Structure 1
Amino acid sequence: MDPAAQQRQGVLPRRIEVLAGLSVAIDLGLGQPAEHMLRAAIIACRLADRLGLSSAQRATTYCTALIMWIGCNADSQEYARWFGDDIAVRRDAYSVDWTGMPFMRFLLGNVARGEPVTRRVLTIGEMLRDARGQLAALMHSHCTSAAELAHHIGLPVEVARAVEYTFERFDGAGLPRGCAGGEIPIEMRIAQVADVAEVHQRMYGVDAAVATMRARRGGHFDPAVVDAVIGDPEPVFAAAADGDVWAAAIAEAPDSETRLDQDGLDRLVGAIGDFADLKCPFALGHSRAVAALAADVGTMLGLEADEVRALRRAGHLHDIGRLGVSSRIWSKPGEFTGSEWERVRIHPYLTDRVLSRISGLERERTFARAHHEHLDGSGYPLGMPGTSLGAGERILAVAVAYQSALEPRPYREAMDPAAAAERVRQRSAHGQLDPGCTESLLSVTGHYTPRVRDDDGLTPREREVLAHVARGLSNRQIAEKLVLSEKTVRNHVERTYAKIGASNRVGASLYALQHGLASPFV
């Protein structure tokens, strides 16, 4: 039975297939080719077997290796602030051991990468004042975010705990806590080796990977794990049968045959949409809002219930390709250059590639990849004409256009609902958006109001501050916007975090999303 027929008959994807798709999205943010994390998970499982881990530890090792860099998306804005191109610096970081003078030279060579000389000098000076402290803060945020996100997508607590140690080193010279040896969970010690070894073996061969492992033995890496590789490296790096890495990685999963039910799939794709939105704090809640709008329009237009559900899921998933574009571009306050615009235009294609291997999401993929296509053929990435766009694609495009107008962007303020509606009307009149879908959206927008939690003890001011924190504003920026002192804002933030149980921006952002508190203030 072909995948489309399976979906029509209610055969939903296996849970691990969706998580594997998420790992491919993580690859985008690392600057690695698709299936890097999947190959690392396979290597990690082979090492777990060599080291005699229990089945429970092996399962944790697999999931840890699969999503160990899930926090990289949440701190992309900070990476971009320090290094310019967050994706390029993560890609190149695989070539250096993260300690000593070589690492410091790497950092200084990449600070404010691509920026004017004056900007580079100022940023380098700021980093040199407390390089370790600056990195520790960045990595603490990353690790806390990774744990929050692992929990948010429904992974076991053991996995959430393991990913908190992503930047620690066996010799205790890592960050943010300087944990050493057995303080680092064995699952993470294996995942660290598998992650780096996969890159070096793929790029330079088995001998080069072994040389890298030997060089970092006892420093970055646990000697016992390294020895498990170099004792007989060929089987560790052996290619998947028939070259199908996806199938081989799925087969290694501890729950490889567990299929999601409808509600479980809804929850997981919703969490993935939240994860995608964290790439750009100014778009926090974008995917949830698009999903709700698209479903409302689909219902008004009389689509079948399963089609409406697919539209809602596509709304959650449509922007996962954003991860493959540097935050330096997304955060640019001015016009894009030609090359930057080409990178932006490719993100729906990247969404398509992430979703392409997940059986049971064929309709969602079809809708999501066309969310920036126009009836007149002027859209992207393919310039598809209206004759190639079905109802789902047209509805999602209108929902994206309206919701995007409501949100702030680095180059403009958020529009109010009336201005957003007028903008969509104009685009419809000019032949870009479907007129019927546009009118239906404008009919339902007055009725869509997210449920807002009001029993958590937050004051109106704290709710306002929380919304700004969730959208990536610093304390100083919030103070300027609300005409308060920076100290007052800091006190509001601390009290808000205490009340909602958050420890950083990602935790606060996820709370705001889940409880209807992330709406932009215009």
Structure 2
Amino acid sequence: MAGAGRSGRDVLPRRAEVLAGLSVAIDLGLGQPAEHMLRSATLACRLADRLDLSSEQRGTIYYATLVMWIGCHADSQEYARWFGDDIAVRREAFLVDWSGVPYLRFLLGHVAKGEPLPHRLKVMTTLFRDARGQLGHMIHSHCASAAALAHHIGLPSEVAHVLAFTFERHDGQGLPVGVSGDSIPIEMRVAQLADVAEVHHRMFGLDAAVTMITSRRGGQFDPAVVDAVLASPEEIFAPARDGDAWREALEKAPDHHVRLTNESFDHLVCAIGDFVDLKCPFTLGHSRAVAALASAAGESLGVAEGDVDILRRAGHLHDLGRLGVSNQVWSNPAGLNSSDWERVRMHPYLTERVLDRIPGLGAVRTVARAHHEHLDGTGYPLGLSGSMLGRSERILAAAVAYQSALEPRPYRAELDPEQATVRLRSRSGSGALDPECVEAVLSAAGHRTLRHRREDLLTPREREILCLVARGLTNRQIAGQLVLSEKTVRNHVERTYVKIGASNRVGASLYALEHGLASPPVTAPEAPQ
């Protein structure tokens, strides 16, 4: 029986294990197999030792390599806007040097890929009118996002600083600033080579990896770092002992011995849930809300304290698998065709695969993977039913269904609380959701007060516009919704960014989350009598 034997007393994982699990989720969005980022971190640490770098530099290299693409996922909407399938373009970008004619050919082949020809031509015209400027803007946003997210998940400030140079090149032809040579931190020069070399070595073998890095010596890559590899490539690319890349990578983590407390673990899983929700602007705050609803419903139903902890953590982590599905699918205003639907049905399974890598999260994994399962067997990905679903799985499914109804989707508007209640009770009446768990979730939602911190820092109008920016609306869309001029909205946005210290939507979104501004004010339904 699913969920049997859960006690909530599993030994908490080490911090490095949770961040390694996060790196596997990042792999999903890169279109790379699990442990790509971990193997890259191992290669980078071997290079750091070969270059005789300090232990502090080595530690920064480890985590900069492990999460260097974290900002890309937060900017998936922009990738999808230009390239259609954001995951496919990231996967194939590993195989081309981002410079010169090959890079232009790569861009031409991927702009709006999969879209109708008239749309592709329109996007191409827009992009190539100022390709470097357009890409520079997107990459600047990526770097700012990566730094903000690194800080949000508790990584040292040195890691956030290094991530700002992810797309720079040794020859100065990179973006967004075009710095060159030693102006790029050595930690990023090592991380860049390790990341790309891991892909080429895994796909094509040692000789091909050596040929690739040699061809990019002095261009993308620092000659000194290349030469460190060429001195003994067999040692740099040696397989992990016993083939266990996970264990070897964890041993190289600078804080591999640090075990999380309950408080630090909860903070980290909340931050990871926030990161996942940034993939689609319309899911901002989704995981936090689900975690709060599920844990409150569990408490009202008398669920044991340890299992309430499991429910809350599963609520934060249940959508990790969304990173493995392209925004081209999630953001389709026409709804899903059969192929897209099969990809969507896989995302709870991908959540399970990520969480399965982290020791001590067996119970959380079991609950999280079932967030779209139904009592009548019509859910996914496994079609579990009845006695195969424990109380916690049923609560989480009801919480996800209710919260999702309150959020907009590209193919429908958000429902108000009363409409969401009707939809949820309809699903329980049809046998899909557990009636008792549905009522517990609705009771938790009905008694919940939506507190918004009213600080003098932002005016009411600025708070309102910040919320809409965080939800992914453009200045023009905000102007139309609030009946303002686009120039007025732009001025409000710029002034708000200065006040809160943000430089792009992701920074604004994180501020909105932390200050209770992630959703417009909603009147909560009255509590059941």
Provide the TM-score with structure 1 as the length reference: 0.98
Give the drift of 1:202. Answer: 0.1
Q: Is the 8 A contact 2:467 2:512 kept in 1?
A: yes
Q: Note the 1:372-391 alignment, pairs <5 A.
A: 372-391=372-391
Distance, in Å, in 1 between the alignment partners of 2:249 and 2:517 is 38
Q: Is the 8 A contact 2:450 2:521 kept in 1?
A: no
Aligned AA for 2:19? L
Q: 1:323 to 1:100 in 2, by over 3 A?
A: same
Q: Is the 8 A contact 1:189 1:222 kept in 2?
A: yes
**Cα RMSD (Å):** 1.3
Aligned AA for 2:89? V
Give the drift of 1:10. Answer: 5.1
What are the superposed Cα offsets for residues 488-517 of structure 1, whole Å, 9 maximum, x if unpaired?
A: 110111111112111111010001011110
Distance, in Å, in 1 between the alignment partners of 2:460 and 2:352 is 41
Distance, in Å, in 1 between the alignment partners of 2:157 and 2:37 is 20
Distance, in Å, in 2 between the alignment partners of 1:283 and 1:471 is 8
Aligned AA for 2:172? G
What are the superposed Cα offsets for residues 242-288 of structure 1, whole Å, 9 maximum, x if unpaired?
A: 11111111111111110000000000000000000001100100000
Q: Give the secondary-structure state (helix, strand or coil) at the position aligned to 1:165.
A: coil
Give the stretch that moved more between structures: 197-206 or 449-458: 449-458
Q: 1:125 maps to what in 2?
A: 125
Distance, in Å, in 2 between the alignment partners of 1:239 and 1:456 is 56
Q: 1:283 maps to what in 2?
A: 283
Q: 2:192 maps to what in 1?
A: 192
Give the drift of 1:451. Answer: 3.5
Q: Does 1:369 align with 2:369?
A: yes
Distance, in Å, in 1 between the alignment partners of 2:6 and 2:284 is 33
What are the superposed Cα offsets for residues 393-419 of structure 1, whole Å, 9 maximum, x if unpaired?
A: 000000000000000000000100000
Distance, in Å, in 1 between the alignment partners of 2:342 and 2:101 is 37
Distance, in Å, in 1 between the alignment partners of 2:199 and 2:143 is 22
Q: Is the 8 A contact 2:13 2:358 kept in 1?
A: yes
What are the superposed Cα offsets for residues 321-361 of structure 1, whole Å, 9 maximum, x if unpaired?
A: 10000001000001211110000000000000010011111
Distance, in Å, in 1 between the alignment partners of 2:202 and 2:442 is 51
Q: Give the secondary-structure state (helix, strand or coil) at the position aligned to 2:169.
A: coil
Q: Does 1:468 align with 2:468?
A: yes
Give the drift of 1:5. Answer: 9.1
Give the drift of 1:429. Answer: 0.3
Give the number of equivalent residue pairs. 519
Give the drift of 1:458. Answer: 1.2
Q: 2:338 maps to what in 1?
A: 338
What are the superposed Cα offsets for residues 30-54 of structure 1, whole Å, 9 maximum, x if unpaired?
A: 0000000000000000000000000
Distance, in Å, in 2 between the alignment partners of 1:441 and 1:33 is 37
Q: Note the 1:44-63 alignment, pairs <5 A.
A: 44-63=44-63
Distance, in Å, in 1 between the alignment partners of 2:462 and 2:274 is 22
Aligned AA for 1:499? K
Aligned AA for 1:52? D
Q: 1:456 to 1:56 in 2, by over 3 A?
A: farther
Aligned AA for 1:284? L
Q: 1:95 maps to what in 2?
A: 95
Aligned AA for 1:33? P
Q: 1:456 to 1:224 in 2, by over 3 A?
A: farther
Distance, in Å, in 2 between the alignment partners of 1:89 and 1:430 is 42
Provide the TM-score with structure 2 as the length reference: 0.97
Aligned AA for 1:459? T
Q: Does 1:492 align with 2:492?
A: yes
Q: Note the 1:18-417 alignment, pairs <5 A.
A: 18-417=18-417
Aligned AA for 2:38? L
Show structure 1 runs of 5+ residues with no match: none
Q: 1:9 to 1:394 in 2, by over 3 A?
A: closer
Distance, in Å, in 1 between the alignment partners of 2:305 and 2:6 is 17
Q: Does 1:451 align with 2:451?
A: yes
Q: Is the 8 A contact 1:80 1:327 kept in 2?
A: yes
Distance, in Å, in 2 between the alignment partners of 1:61 and 1:413 is 44
Give the drift of 1:459. Answer: 1.4
Aligned AA for 1:189? R
Aligned AA for 1:492? H
Distance, in Å, in 1 between the alignment partners of 2:178 and 2:212 is 22
Q: Is the 8 A contact 1:291 1:315 kept in 2?
A: yes
Q: Is the 8 A contact 1:6 1:12 kept in 2?
A: no
Q: Is the 8 A contact 1:456 1:499 kept in 2?
A: no
Q: Give the secondary-structure state (helix, strand or coil) at the position aligned to 1:90.
A: helix
Give the stretch that moved more between structures: 109-118 or 459-468: 459-468
What are the superposed Cα offsets for residues 156-208 of structure 1, whole Å, 9 maximum, x if unpaired?
A: 00000011110000011000010111111111100000000000000000000
Q: Is the 8 A contact 2:6 2:307 kept in 1?
A: no
Q: Is the 8 A contact 1:147 1:164 kept in 2?
A: yes
Q: Give the secondary-structure state (helix, strand or coil) at the position aligned to 2:164.
A: helix
Q: Is the 8 A contact 2:6 2:363 kept in 1?
A: no
Give the drift of 1:457. Answer: 2.1
Aligned AA for 2:417? P
Aligned AA for 1:358? I
Q: Is the 8 A contact 2:8 2:363 kept in 1?
A: no
What are the superposed Cα offsets for residues 469-490 of structure 1, whole Å, 9 maximum, x if unpaired?
A: 0011111111111111110110
Q: Is the 8 A contact 2:168 2:179 kept in 1?
A: yes
Give the stretch that moved more between structures: 451-460 or 351-360: 451-460
Show structure 2 runs of 5+ residues with no match: 523-529
Q: 1:511 maps to what in 2?
A: 511
Give the drift of 1:464. Answer: 1.0
Distance, in Å, in 2 between the alignment partners of 1:55 and 1:246 is 21
Give the drift of 1:521. Answer: 6.5
Q: Is the 8 A contact 1:451 1:515 kept in 2?
A: no
Give the stretch that moved more between structures: 14-23 or 456-465: 456-465
Distance, in Å, in 2 between the alignment partners of 1:360 and 1:17 is 10
Distance, in Å, in 2 between the alignment partners of 1:285 and 1:227 is 46
Distance, in Å, in 2 between the alignment partners of 1:5 and 1:233 is 48
Give the stretch that moved more between structures: 335-344 or 34-43: 335-344
What are the superposed Cα offsets for residues 224-259 of structure 1, whole Å, 9 maximum, x if unpaired?
A: 101111111011111111111111111111111100
Q: Is the 8 A contact 2:12 2:360 kept in 1?
A: yes
Distance, in Å, in 1 between the alignment partners of 2:53 and 2:468 is 45
Q: Is the 8 A contact 2:7 2:307 kept in 1?
A: no
Give the stretch that moved more between structures: 450-459 or 6-15: 6-15
What are the superposed Cα offsets for residues 81-104 of structure 1, whole Å, 9 maximum, x if unpaired?
A: 000000000000011100111101
Give the drift of 1:375. Answer: 0.3
Q: Give the secondary-structure state (helix, strand or coil) at the position aligned to 1:97.
A: coil
